Every structure is written in structure tokens, then in C-alpha cells.
Amino acid sequence: MDPVNSLALLQRRYLMITGMILRLLSVTAHCLVIFQMSKVLCSIVNGRFRPSLALNVAPRRTLGEDTRGQICNRGGAFSILAFRQTFTSNDRYVENCMKIPSSRNPQLTSSINPSLTSSINPSRTSSLNPFRTSSINPFRTSSINPHRTSSINPIKTSSINPFRTSSINPLRTSSLNPTRTSSKNPSLVSSIDGSYIFDMELNPIGFTVRANDRVILIFSPENEWVAFGVSNRIEGFNIFSVQGEWTGFWVANRRGNFNIFSLDGAWVGLTT
């Protein structure tokens, strides 16, 4: 074959192969774009999409107010240290609004803000501090310690155990379940008969439903049942995870609300 014709043939084949590779790369790129778009659409449908996640920015919870004047929780993973319960996974975007009235919002009402009212602050009022007042410390007063007093231990007393008494279990009694009873759901009503729970930055992180005179049920802002509390009979509560693990305790602040402590004695939250 003539060398000139051979070279021309090789050039044509090279251009043909190059064109095929470029078309293949183009198709692959389009497929990747479509795949990513489908993931985003699925995330939007499932309520998990957040732009910061797409940029690999760690989500942070912030407190905002929507157009209806509701207090909103926006962010990724968060937890109540006293419960040691993680309410959401790191890849889930949460936007939940609880209609907290201003009179029960410590950011708006100074009398329920322990940073502004020393009489409800355990760091300033020794009678509310379990390190300084032994009668409210379950590790120094056995009668309020569920490991030492069986009558306040749900493992040993079935009447205070939601998994052994259906009337105090929100999964079996619809009137205690905020997803089934609107009056218990702070996203639907402007005030609930239970408590609102705040972290130390005064962000709303949960709420309670009273099951009976001895047991309260604790829910995340997404209405997920995450813990329950058993009265210690001195106006406080011991807190248990839904697995039955003792995780913290609440101390009454003498104003109808509670300061929340972890088992190591750290002050980690409050209620209104």
C-alpha cells in the first residue's frame, strides 16, 4: 500500500477512535449529572436536602423564626446530653417548627432564662445544685436513685415501665402520641400542657407529654419518642432511654420547671 494512503488511513482511524472516546465521555458525564440530580430530587422528596451538605460543609443547628412566628430547629445531628440519645443522623436535614409561646421561650422571657434570673440558675443558687445540695443528688441520696430504690426503677416496677404498661406507651395509646393527637403536638398547637426542652444555648430540642402522675414521655422536635422520665417523688425526674438505660435526671427549679443534668452532674439543659 502506498505510504501516503496508509498514513491517511491511520489518521482517519485515529480521528474515528478519538471521536468515539469523546462521545463516550460525553455520555458518561451526562449520566453522572442525571444520577446526581436524581439523588438531589430523592433527598428533596424525603426532606433531607441541604445545600451545605452538597458542599461537604458540616451542618450546624441554628435557631430561626419562620413567617408564622414559629420557633424553628434547622440543622443536622443534635442530641440532649442528659439522654445520650442522637435524634437524627449526620446526613439528615431537619427543619422543624414548634409553636412556642413567648411566655415559655427563655430567649424572650427573662424570668425563665437562668442566665438572667439567678434564682433558677443552679450555678448561682446552691439549693438547685446537686453538687451542693445532697438531697437532690441521686448519688448521695439513695431514695431518689433508681439503682437503689426499686419503686422508681422501671426495670423492676412494671407500672412505670411504658413497655410493660400499655396505658403509658405512646406507641399503643394514641392519646399520648403527638403524631396522632394534635393537642400534644407543638408543631400544630400554640401551647402544650407538657414541657418544652432547651439546650444550654436556649435552642428548643424537644418536648414532653405527661403519661400519668409518675411518668413523662420525651419526644424530639420531629415527634420521635426518645426517652421517658420517672418521678423521684421530690418534684424531680430520673430520665431513661427507650432502651431502659438511666441517662440523667431533672431537678425542679422551684418555678414549675426543671434544670437538666447528665449522670456525671453536668448541667446540660432546662425546661419551660
So what's the pLDDT on residue 31? Answer: 60
pLDDT at 103: 96
pLDDT at 45: 39
Q: What is the CA radius of gyration of the chain?
A: 28
- pLDDT for 29 equals 64
Residue with cell 403519661: 211
- The pLDDT value given to residue 258: 98
Cα dihedral 161, 166, 171, 177, rounded to 10, equals -90
| pLDDT at residue 5 in the model | 59
Q: According to the 3-state scheme, what is the secondary structure of 78-136?
A: CEECCCCEECCCCCCCEEEEECCCHHHCCCCCHHHCCCCCHHHCCCCCHHHCCCCCHHH
| pLDDT at 98 (0 to 100) | 92
Q: pLDDT means per 10 residues in the chain (272 residues)?
A: 60 72 70 54 39 27 35 40 37 60 96 97 97 97 98 97 98 97 95 96 97 98 97 96 96 96 96 98
pLDDT digits (tens, 9 = 90+) for 10-31: 667 767 777 778 777 766 666 6
The whole-number pLDDT of residue 32 equals 62
pLDDT value, residue 22: 74
Q: How far apart are CA 18 and CA 30, in angstroms?
A: 18
Q: Is 33 exposed, middle or buried (0-12, 13-18, 19+ CB in 10 A)?
A: exposed
Pair 162, 156: CB distance under 8 Å: no
pLDDT at 175: 98
